[in-house]
Amino acid sequence: MAAQIIDGKKVAEELREWLAVRVGQLKTRGIVPGLTAVLVGDNAASASYVRSKKTAAAKIGINSSVIELPATIKQAELDSIIDRLNIDRSVHGYIVQLPLPKHLNVAHTINRILPSKDADCFHPENVGLMTLGRPRFLPATPAGIIELLRYYHISTSGAEVVVLGRSDIVGRPLSIMLSQKSQHGNATVTVCHTGTRDLSEHARRADILIAAMGRPNTVTAEIVKPGAVVIDVGTNRVSDPTVEKGYRIVGDVDFPAVSEVAGYITPVPGGVGPMTVAMLLANTVTAAELAASPNKQLL
């Protein structure tokens, strides 16, 4: 029996509707949430992603802008732009789109972002708060994955979760969030990576298998437990001369084969991707709400 498709587009749309209500409430107080993206260089994937964020923000009433910078920009010049955004009261949240050109220091750049405007939740202060279970914001992709599981009533409590990949953007924070003692956590989490001796053995035990490696079609039907929930975070461009663009986007999961084994599965595109954008907007709205109520305490 084919797996049930986890429709990220549908869930993201419902989330945006709720965010639009919160934006409307802020506007009655004279506050218009503002989101800015800093785009360095001409990475096509980054540019496309930033455009999608800008469009989605505008649809729910968020003021959105993009600062486009040349790939040759110096660190001091980028620092100056970040400093300006930090004090701009019309900007409630902003991101510096990754990856950056190699001559720029990613850690230095992230550390310079004002934590209360860190819409990506990359700053060490926000990562620390998330780890302690007292988040100001949540990292967008992990939070989007958990929201998908919640929406489809997929319980994580006591579940065997295997995360393939340990990046600071997805794998590592997601493993922390899912293992926390919380309503949508409380799972037993295994993180697999390039040093894992038998990845397949771990994957076959998973009630929930999350692929975030960035390698196309790595997860095959043979390593998926029958009935498992499979979340595909991968977004990989592979050559395909049969389509006009000359390429197509695939995930880390062999979707046709795995969908015949799994109980639930996310497609690529249309699964996790829309949720990442929606959760970034959620962080921006939260930032505006916190700025409007500076005495509000974090949990």
Active-site residue 97, yes or no?
Answer: yes
Catalytic residue among 118, 120, 252, 254: 120
Q: Where are the beta strands (DSSP E) in the chain?
A: 4-5, 34-40, 63-69, 93-96, 160-164, 188-192, 208-211, 229-232, 236-239, 247-250, 264-265
Handedness of CA 251, 256, 260, 264 (dihedral sign): positive
> For the segment 97-118, what is each residue's pLDDT rounded down to a tens digit?
999 999 999 999 999 999 999 9
Question: Other C-beta atoms within 10 Å of 248: how many?
Answer: 14
Active-site residue 74, yes or no?
Answer: no
Picking from 16, 10, 4, the residue whose alpha carbon sits closest to that of residue 279 is 16
Which domains occur in the chain, in start order?
A: 30-118 (3.40.50.10860), 140-273 (3.40.50.720)
Active-site residue 53, yes or no?
Answer: yes
Catalytic residue among 53, 54, 117, 225: 53
> For the segment 102-158, what is each residue's pLDDT rounded down to a tens digit?
999 999 999 999 999 999 999 999 999 999 999 999 999 999 999 999 999 999 999
pLDDT top residue among 283 and 293: 283
Catalytic residue among 97, 117, 207, 225: 97
Long-range Cβ contact pairs of 212-215 (< 8 A, separation 24 or more) = 212/163, 212/164, 212/165, 212/167, 212/170, 212/171, 212/174, 212/252, 213/164, 213/165, 213/252, 214/165, 214/252, 215/252
Give this prediction's pTM: 0.94
